[in-house]
Structure 1
């Protein structure tokens, strides 16, 4: 099996701001695995919150590149176990695991959702994310991209008034993501006001480790609350299931599709809502997420829509939010 790594700086359409950071460019690593004339592609983006850079992931993978090339590839699950055994970070594992799944599907001549026994009869609509900015800029972003569901990033001193202003401009469903910026009391106080403004749910209002605060939120909050920063890896699902209404799984954080599939199964068994979210990433990563959507209650896979220029072909999200799936096997990815 041949391996190749490609580094990209993905340029964004607009400065993207959440409660803790802003950026105009998103560094991203693309892993390419080739076997028997087929190439699978996977992606993982840098993330300052978790001290992950493209350079650090590249160094990790290069350190075991000979072992990867000599690996007897059979299934993505076996390959994933090998990568975990080698001690790579979940971000580096994600890039390789996504590539392995794409490769496996292409070798089998089947899309991943088909291999997993699901169909495209019904699936959730992705939201489109509006980052923190002035109200005028947030409104302009909404008008530039009319969409049925918006995820609105908050974490300012005037969050409810921001939503009031945006509601005047759109009848879309709103989802609120405070990225750990609120207190327990703020969350409970804001929730009924936001519910009146057509907000569907809140995502990660409190700090990731504030379990006591979340007990109080779950008891008094009038809106469902979805875990994000609190739900990183498989072992987090059980705790989150007891403190949140649902979980948001990120492939880069958990280590790819292999653990994500297990997290989805566990979340459903616990009776919580299951969502998969994206980073600001290219169609390489988004096409992998899309293979999961028949299994999900919610999905956030707008990462490539936020880019000025994409680097890959694969799943297409149309202007009406409908999804066109590629006929190529695996995740259906090719690089431009």
Structure 2
């Protein structure tokens, strides 16, 4: 097996702002695994919140290429265990490798990944479309530019309720709110009352990630369901989130890819929690991988590639929130040359 690493700077259509940062370009790393005439593709983006850079991922992966290239016919689960031992806590690099290997493995089996897993796709959830923090009139403009059945609205300002109130006058779409750790317990509980009146479906990660006492209070008193994101990074975090959140948002880059994400989703479902997978601002390489988990999810946020000025790959397509799979096997990805 041969490993090929590529780096790209993904330019966004609009400046993207959340409570803690703004950016116009998203650096990303693409891993290609080549074997027996097939190629599998994986992706992981840089992330300042988790102190991950493309250079650090590339450095870590280059060190283990000789070991990875000796792997032949291991299952994705066996591959994940090997790669995890080699990479340690670098889950972002592990994610890129794991997605690429799952893609390659399914292509060799002449199947789409969801077919290999035995999933039925007839009841897949729709994806939301994200509206980043901006001036209210700009947020309205972005929403009108992309009519959509479900919006995820980023908040964390002094005008949060005013923002949602104004957006609601322009659409009947479902609203989901992501405060990215920016609210207090009292703000969350009080905001939930007003936001429920405005047609909000749930709140995502309103408090700081490690405020477990606060999460418990919000879980008990919020009139809206609360979904964990920054508080749910790796597999062990699912159990921690039980009785603190109503559901978990699993991010492939944070947990180490599709293999570990499937285990996290299964664990959450056993605990009676809602399941969601979210994305970063990724190309169609990472986004297409998420699509194969849809049959196991209650909610999904996989609009990352829609936010780009120009994609670097083809794969799944999205129309009015509905995800359509590629005709290709594996994750269905092909890099644009």
Instruction: Give the TM-score of the pair, scaled to structure 1.
Output: 0.99
Counterpart contact for 2:279–2:304, Cα < 8 Å: yes
**Counterpart residue number, 2:291:** 290
Give me the whole-angstrom Cα distance separating, in 1, the residues matched to 2:123 and 2:331.
18
Counterpart contact for 2:219–2:243, Cα < 8 Å: no
**Counterpart residue number, 2:53:** 53
**Counterpart residue number, 1:226:** 227
The alignment status of 1:216 with 2:217, answered yes or no, reads yes
Deviation at 1:321, TM superposition (A): 2.1
Counterpart contact for 2:127–2:323, Cα < 8 Å: no
* Superimposed CA distance per residue, residues 280-327 of structure 1 (whole angstroms, 9 cap, x where no aligned partner): 000000000000001100000000000000000110112x22221012
The alignment status of 1:301 with 2:323, answered yes or no, reads no
Counterpart contact for 1:10–1:26, Cα < 8 Å: yes
SS in 2 for 1:66: helix
Name structure 1 gaps, 5 residues minimum.
none
The alignment status of 1:334 with 2:337, answered yes or no, reads no
Counterpart contact for 1:73–1:79, Cα < 8 Å: no
Counterpart contact for 2:283–2:304, Cα < 8 Å: yes
**Counterpart residue number, 2:265:** 264
The alignment status of 1:86 with 2:66, answered yes or no, reads no
SS in 1 for 2:87: coil
Name structure 2 gaps, 5 residues minimum.
none
How many residue pairs align between the two structures?
335
Give me the whole-angstrom Cα distance separating, in 2, the residues matched to 1:294 and 1:71.
30
Give me the whole-angstrom Cα distance separating, in 2, the residues matched to 1:194 and 1:275.
21
Deviation at 1:74, TM superposition (A): 2.2
Structure 1 segments of 4+ aligned residues over 4 angstroms from their partners: none
**Counterpart residue number, 1:4:** 4
CA RMSD of aligned residues (A): 0.7
Give me the whole-angstrom Cα distance separating, in 1, the residues matched to 2:269 and 2:290.
17
Give me the whole-angstrom Cα distance separating, in 1, the residues matched to 2:229 and 2:303.
16
**Counterpart residue number, 1:187:** 188
Instruction: Give the TM-score of the pair, scaled to structure 2.
Output: 0.98
Give me the whole-angstrom Cα distance separating, in 1, the residues matched to 2:327 and 2:310.
23
The alignment status of 1:198 with 2:199, answered yes or no, reads yes
Deviation at 1:73, TM superposition (A): 3.5
Deviation at 1:328, TM superposition (A): 1.4
Deviation at 1:115, TM superposition (A): 1.0
* Superimposed CA distance per residue, residues 167-199 of structure 1 (whole angstroms, 9 cap, x where no aligned partner): 011110000000000000000010010000000
Give me the whole-angstrom Cα distance separating, in 2, the residues matched to 1:189 and 1:234.
31
Deviation at 1:72, TM superposition (A): 2.6
Give me the whole-angstrom Cα distance separating, in 2, the residues matched to 1:222 and 1:334.
44
**Counterpart residue number, 2:120:** 119
**Counterpart residue number, 1:175:** 176
